[in-house]
Amino acid sequence: MELLVATRNAGKLKEIRRLLGDLGIEVKGLDAFPELPEVEEDGDTFAANAIKKAETVAALTGLATLADDSGLEVAELGGQPGVRSARYAGEQATDADNNRKLLAALAGVPAERRQGAFRCAMALARPGQESRVFHGRVEGIMLDAARGDGGFGYDPLFLVREYGKTMAELPLDVKNRISHRGQALRQVVEFLRGE
């Protein structure tokens, strides 16, 4: 089976390929389709954005397509950055820009009020079929300084209490096992195995 993952994010592709490797599924990223346009993530929920991306790309390529939208929600910030996680500091923001803005927004907030959660909605779309959506969530604490050099996005600021490490400090196999994306993707795997 061939599965197109609607992302150009190398970090996401690496995680997904590793988790789907045992199923004999050939995973392709959008880098294999440079002519495809970017799909604007203008939904107000992670699920709405994931469905839009998956269905748009599946319709354009004719391939089964998996798309996710995921991000960080910080309770003290009213759920921000939320669906704007990748664009929190602006449309062309880098991970470092977003992390700086988050640290500034949380400046002076005590550790006991720095709860955060990574959330993921993952949509599987096939041309002519109803899309399926799978969800994952992992809770943690937002640090006041980055730790670790693995992962991407907000991983260096997100402390997973049970491990005493940030997502950026965890080995990839551990991160994949506990992450929001890993949780959603395991549900996708179970769904595909059951077909």
Rounded to whole angstroms, the Cα distance separating 71 from 80 reads 9
The single residue listed with the structure tokens 């990574």 is 118
Report the pLDDT averaged over residues 129-154: 95
**Is the pLDDT reported for residue 124 higher than 90?**
yes
9 versus 134: the higher-pLDDT residue is 134
Query: What total of structural domains would you count in the chain?
Result: 1
Pairing relationship of beta strands 165-166 and 158-160 according to DSSP bridges: antiparallel
Report the pLDDT averaged over residues 12-25: 80
Query: Is the CB of residue 106 less than 8 Å from the CB of residue 53?
Result: no
Rounded to whole angstroms, the Cα distance separating 169 from 70 reads 20
Rounded to whole angstroms, the Cα distance separating 1 from 24 reads 7
- The CATH number linked to 159 is 3.90.950.10
**Residue 81 sits in which domain range?**
2-193
Portion of the chain with pLDDT greater than 90, in percent: 77
Which pLDDT tens digit goes with each residue over 77-87?
Answer: 999 999 999 99
Residues labelled as active-site residues? 69
Rounded to whole angstroms, the Cα distance separating 5 from 184 reads 14
> Model's pTM, two decimal places?
0.88
